[in-house]
Amino acid sequence: MTSTVAIIGAGVIGAGWAARFLLNGWDVRVFDPDPSARDRVEKVLAAARLSLPGLGEVALPPEGRLSFPRLISEAVRGAGWVQESVPERIELKHKIIQAVQSCIEEGAILASSTSGFTATELQSNSSRPDQILVAHPFNPVYLLPLVEVVASDRTDPDLRDRAVMTLTDLGMAPLQVRAEVPAHIADRLLEAVWREALWLVKDGVATTGEIDDAIRMGFGLRWAQMGLFETYRIAGGDGGMAHFLHQFGPALKWPWSKLTDVPEMDDTLVATIAAQSDEQAGGRTIADLERQRDHNLVGLIRALGAQGWGAGAIQQAADERRMSGAGVPARFEDITDPATPVVTLHRAVPLDWIDYNGHMTEDRYLHAFGDASDRLMKLIGCDLDYVAAGKSFFTVESHIRHLKEVTAGAPLRIETRVIAAGGKKMHVWHEMKSGDRLLATAEHMLLHVDLETRRSAPLTPLLAERLATLVDAQAELDPPEGLSRAIGDPI
C-alpha cells in the first residue's frame, strides 16, 4: 500500500524532503503558495533522480505520485506524515500547525524541520501536542542520512517510535536527541565552528577559502567517517581518550577561542566575506556547486559503504531492506520460477560509474556483471561462510558485449542463466537491461576452487544440486543470442 506525505513549505529543505519521500515510493503532496514552488521542487527532484538511485547497490522502489494541492486541507487530508518546512518564525509555524491539525488524521505524524525550536515550543497552544515532534534534516535531504528527532514529554512515545521506523525505511539515520535544547545537537556544533570562522575572517587571519581548505583538506575528512570523539580517541594513541584529555585538556583554558563572543556583522565584514566567497567560487554558479556537492557526497558515502562504515553502513542497511522489493532473491528458496532467468542485480547507475563520454565506463560493466555472479554464487550456497571454510569460484574466462550505452541514474537489471554446470565448472550467461533495452551481455566460465591448494575441485553436493535445478529448469529456453560468440564474429 502506497503511503502519502504532505510537505508544507517547498524551500530547499521542503523540496529535499519531497525528493527523499517520492523516490522511496511515497505519494507526495506539496503545499506552498509561492508560484515558483513547483519549479523549485522539480529542480531538486532532477538532481535527486540523478544521485540518490545510484547511492546504494539496490534499486529504489517505483516513484510515488507528485501533486501540488492549492489548499493545506487538500494536502494533509489522508496523509500519514506531514512535514512542516516553513521559515524559522515561531508564530508562522504555530499558524501552520493549527491549520494542519484542523484536518490532519488523528494518528498521523506532524514533524517539523525546524533547526532551532524545541518540540515543546512547537506544541504551544496546539490542540493535539501528542502528534508533534521535530525531524530536523540536513541539506541535501535526499542524500544526507542524518535527521535529528526531538520529542517532548507531551509527544506520544508510540508516534515517535513510528517516526523513527519510517525515517529508517527512507534510508536515513534518525538521531534521537535525549533532551530538548535550542538548535538540537548538530547545529550547536556548527554554530561554534561558524563563530570561530567569522572571527578569523574579521581579524584578517584567514580568507573564506583558506578556512574551507583547513576543514576539507584536514579534519573534515576525518569527521566524515569517525566524527569528533573517535578521531580524538585515536589521537590519544595507545592511551586512548583518557591520555588525549590529560594531554590536551589544559589547552581548553588557553585564550584560543572566541566562542562566547560574536563579531558585529557590519557592512564591512559582510562585504569582505561576500567578496572572498565570490572569489572562492571561481565563477561557478550555485547550480554548478550543488551538482559538484552531490557528486562528491555520492562518492564519499559509497566509499564508506564499501567499508561498512559511517553513512555508508546506513546505506548498506537500506539496501538490504530494499532487496526483496527490487525482485532480487536473497536465498535460493526465494527463486519462485527457476525456469526463467534469475534477477541477480537491480540498481541504478551511480555518478561515479560515468566516464568522459557521459556514459557508463567499460570497467563498470564488468563490475556490475561481477556483482551479478557474486549474487548467483550466494544463492547456490557459495556465500562468505562457504568461502571462509575454504572453497570458492574463480572466473577463468569472460566475454562482454557492449550493445547500447547507459547514462547516470539509469535503472539496471541483470538477468542470469546457468547454461551448464557439473564437475568443477559453472557456465553463466548474464543480460543487462534498462527497461526493455538490452544494454550488454556477459558470458563467464567459472571453476570451483579449493582455496588451500589453489586448484580446481569438484562441486560440493549442495552446489551441484542447486545448479542442476537451474540448468534443468532453464534447458527449454532458447539459447541466448550471442552465446559462445567470439570477437570478430558478425554482430
Tell me: pLDDT of 101 over 60: yes
Q: What is the mean pLDDT of residues 48-71?
A: 94
Q: Is 11 among the annotated ligand-binding positions? A: yes
> CA 197 to CA 273: how far, in whole Å?
11
Q: Helix, strand, coil shares of the chain as percentages rounded to 5?
A: 45, 20, 35
Query: Is 13 within any annotated ligand binding site?
Result: yes
For residue 455, which phi and psi values (nearest 5 degrees)? -125, 160
Do the Cβ atoms of 429 and 480 come closer than 8 Å?
yes
Residue 489: pLDDT band by 50, 70, 90 thresholds? confident
Cα–Cα dist 491/484, whole Å: 13
Q: Is 9 labeled as ligand-binding?
A: yes
pLDDT band with cut points at 50, 70 and 90 for residue 226: confident
pTM metric for this prediction: 0.86
Per-residue model confidence (pLDDT) at position 1: 47
* Residue 14 among known ligand-binding residues: yes
Q: Look over the chain and give the mean of its residue pLDDT values, rounded to a whole number.
A: 93
Q: Does the annotation list 12 as a binding residue?
A: yes
**pLDDT reported for residue 207:** 96
pLDDT score of 2: 67
User: Among the CATH numbers 3.40.50.920, 3.40.50.2300, 3.40.50.140, 1.10.1040.10, which is that of 186-283?
Assistant: 1.10.1040.10
Q: List pLDDT tens digits, range 287-317.
A: 888 988 998 899 899 999 888 889 999 999 9
Superfamily of domain 4-176: NAD(P)-binding Rossmann-like Domain (3.40.50.720)
Q: Which fold has domain 323-474?
A: Thiol Ester Dehydrase; Chain A (3.10.129)
Domain residue spans of the chain: 4-176, 186-283, 323-474
Query: Does the annotation flag 10 for ligand binding?
Result: yes
Instruction: Write the pLDDT tens digit of every residue in 10-40.
Output: 999 999 999 999 999 999 999 999 999 999 9
d(CA 101, CA 79): 12
The DSSP secondary-structure symbol of 477 reads S
Cell 493549527 -> residue: 98
Band the pLDDT of 125: cuts 50, 70, 90: confident
How large is the average pLDDT for residues 250-270?
Answer: 77
Q: Are strands 146-150 and 132-137 parallel, antiparallel or unpaired?
A: antiparallel
